Amino acid sequence: MAVSQLDRLDLPQTATALGKPVSMPSPTRAERLLVPIELFSDILCPWCWIEKRSLEAAMKKFESKHPQVEFEVVWRSFCLNPLFKTSTSTICSPSTSTQTRLILPKKKPSTYRQSLHANEKLLNTTDRGGSECGKIALYDEMAGGPGKFQPHLDRVSAVGAHYGLKFSVTGDTGPTRASQILIANILRRRGPAAQARVVEALFRSHFLDGKDISDEDVLVSLGSETAGLPADVVRSDLRDDDNGRFVDDEAEAAVEEKGVEAVPCVTVLGKYKVGGYQEQEVFEKLFERIWAENARVLSKPWDND
């Protein structure tokens, strides 16, 4: 999780999707335009929650100026790629029977999937306690050692306050793969709006309520209450191996095919890439640029299309 360095904002000179001009309406056309957005995230990343609010604010402002435009945001799987390994280092809650340490590999694994599966294989062979880790210890380890996360927490708290967000790292947590399965299946069963509500609830549960979002019961309750799905359906989805493979494939494709190196990462129209946390104004400028460029492309009469 790159909490102190932002990726480059990639703005192509023309708005294209798969090599073809994007069909955007002139400001007077009655039909609504659907603008697809993908947001790659991991619930462990506090900047992803802030990015959600930043993007939402930008979309709301742009839609008020251009009522023909409608955004559709889809949340995609990404794993921050830590490896949990048994260790004598006591960084987990004292009650756990197997101490667990977060190891950030110095070298990139040969494939994303090898790293992910190594993580899952280990956790699946330990008891429930062995897969849980105190959040503050986890974030400290990711930041470089005891007490190292506090400056990052202070920063995200200050930035998040602009959007009414508060952050806490109390309680335990574990791998986020199960939460990614929930997010993907809510999209499949209930659509983008329900998915966004579930993502918001996951962030709130993790950063505000002190809940363990790797706990199946927590996820079942959240999916049922937020998306209106029967609890047995949510539980079955979480345990379905095919669903697990789907999010593995999606997360691997983000790294290997789409070049996502850190989260949050946003793509608009499949071409415009915004890496790292960005303020609302960055998205507003991107939307206006896309609108202006495509208005020029579509300046000819519509009946001549």
Q: Locate 95 and state its tokens.
A: 């009650």
Q: Output the pLDDT for position 141.
A: 86
DSSP state of 6: P
> Is the C-alpha dihedral spanning 205, 210, 212, 217 positive or negative?
negative
Q: What architecture (CATH level 2) is domain 9-21+31-292?
A: 3-Layer(aba) Sandwich (3.40)
Radius of gyration in angstroms for the set of CA atoms belonging to the chain, rounded to a whole number: 20
Q: Output the pLDDT for position 189.
A: 98
Q: How far apart are CA 303 and CA 249, in angstroms?
A: 43
CB 264 within 8 A of CB 277: yes
Q: How far apart are CA 275 and CA 34, in angstroms?
A: 22
Q: Residue 243: which region, alpha, beta or left (left: phi > 0; alpha: psi -120 to 50)? A: alpha
Burial of 56 (0-12, 13-18, 19+ CB in 10 A): middle
Low-confidence ranges of the chain (pLDDT < 50): 1-30, 82-110, 121-130, 297-305
Q: Output the pLDDT for position 169.
A: 93
Q: Output the pLDDT for position 34.
A: 81
Q: How far apart are CA 219 and CA 181, in angstroms?
A: 10
Domain spans, the chain: 9-21+31-292
By C-alpha distance, which of 59, 76, 65, 68 is closest to 23?
A: 68
Question: In a 3-state reduction of DSSP, which class is residue 149?
Answer: coil
Q: Which long-range contacts (CB under 8 A, 24 or more apart) does 111-116 make?
A: 111/252, 111/256, 112/79, 112/81, 112/251, 112/252, 112/255, 112/256, 113/248, 113/252, 115/81, 115/83, 116/79, 116/81, 116/177, 116/248, 116/251, 116/252
Question: In a 3-state reduction of DSSP, which class is residue 146?
Answer: coil
Strands 265-268 and 20-21, bridge-based pairing? unpaired
Q: Which long-range contacts (CB under 8 A, 24 or more apart) does 297-303 make?
A: 297/15, 297/21, 297/24, 298/23, 298/24, 298/25, 298/26, 299/26, 302/26, 302/29
CB 81 within 8 A of CB 47: no
Q: How far apart are CA 271 and CA 12, in angstroms?
A: 8
DSSP element (H, E) containing 134: strand 133-134
By C-alpha distance, which of 114, 45, 122, 34 is closest to 77?
A: 45
Write the DSSP string, 69-99. Answer: EEEEEEEEE-----EEEE-S---S-TT-SS-
Q: How far apart are CA 78 and CA 57, in angstroms?
A: 23
Q: How far apart are CA 90 and CA 99, in angstroms?
A: 6
